[in-house]
Amino acid sequence: NWGGGDSQAVKLSQWNPFSGESCEWFDPKWMFGVKDGFDIVIANPPYVRQEEINFKSELKKEYEIFNSVSDLYTYFYERGFELLKKIGVLTFITSNKFLRARYGNVLRKYLQTNTTIKSIINFGNRHMFEATTNTLIFIATKEKNDRNVFAYSDSIEVPDKINFSQSALQDREWTIEKPEIIRLKSKVEEMGTLLKDWDIRINYGIKTGYNEAFIIDEATKNELIKIEPKAKE
C-alpha cells in the first residue's frame, strides 16, 4: 500500500532511523537492503518482570528459549541472534540474573550451543546505570566454537579479567571464577554436605510479589507514622 495516510511511502518519509522509538513496521530487508542479517546488533532490552508480561502464549509460540517465568529481556537474546548474519556480533546490556537463575537454564543452553562468547562484563550488585537492575555487558558472535575462550571481568575500568573456556560453562548456572576458586568450590562440594541433607528447615523471608505495595518512599513512611505512631517500629 503506497497511497493514503497510512501508506508505506508516508511512513518511510516520516521515519527517523536514529530515533530510539519503536517502529511497528520495521523491515530490515526493504529499509536497509539487509538480506542475510546484520553485522552487529546492539541493544539495552527493556527489563520487564515476568509477572507483568500478559502475552506469554505468543512468546511460547515464537521463541525456542521460552520459559513461563523468564523476564522479558531474555527473549531479545534469541531475536538478536536471529537478526545477525552468520558471524555477526551481538552486544547487549541486560540484567545479569540469567547467569544463575533457574529460569535462565534454556537461555544459557541456547547461548552455549549457538554462539561464541567474546566477553562478559558482570557488574554484580553494583548499579552502573540509572535503573536499579543488576547488569552485565554481553558480547558474542553468531557461530559455534567448541574451543572458544572468552574474557570475563567485573569492571570496565580495571583490566582484571579471567580467561574462561566456554566449554566449561554448565547448564545449571554459570559460575565464572579464577581456576583456584573453581578448584576450592569443587573441593567444598565434594567433601561438604548439602543443606537439604541436614536435619534442619530453612524458610524464605518475606516475598511480597508486589513491591509497590511494600516498598515506599520517605514521605509516605512519615505520613503512615503520623497516622499510627507504632508503625515506626
CA distance 114 to 142: 7
- Label residue 210 by pLDDT band (50, 70, 90): low
Q: Residue range 22-26: average pLDDT?
A: 72
> Which of 13-17, 24-28, 51-55, 201-205 shows the lowest mean pLDDT across its residues?
24-28
The CA-atom distances, in angstroms, between 150 and each of 52, 119, 211 are 34, 5, 37
Q: What is the pLDDT of residues 54-91, one digit of tens each?
A: 999 999 999 999 999 999 999 999 999 999 999 999 99
Q: Where do the domains of the chain lie, and which CATH numbers do they carry?
A: 12-194 (3.40.50)
8 A C-beta contact, residue 120 and residue 138:
yes
State percent of the chain over pLDDT 70: 86
pLDDT of residue 1: 44
Task: Tell me the whole-structure pTM to 2 decimals.
Answer: 0.70
Q: Residue with C-alpha cell 535503573?
A: 131
Longest Cα–Cα distance in the chain: 74
How would you classify the pairing of strands 116-122 and 162-165? unpaired
Q: What is the pLDDT of residues 85-115, one digit of tens each?
A: 999 999 999 999 999 999 999 999 999 999 9
Q: What is the pLDDT of residues 130-187, one digit of tens each?
A: 666 789 999 999 998 888 999 988 877 766 788 899 988 887 889 888 778 878 888 8
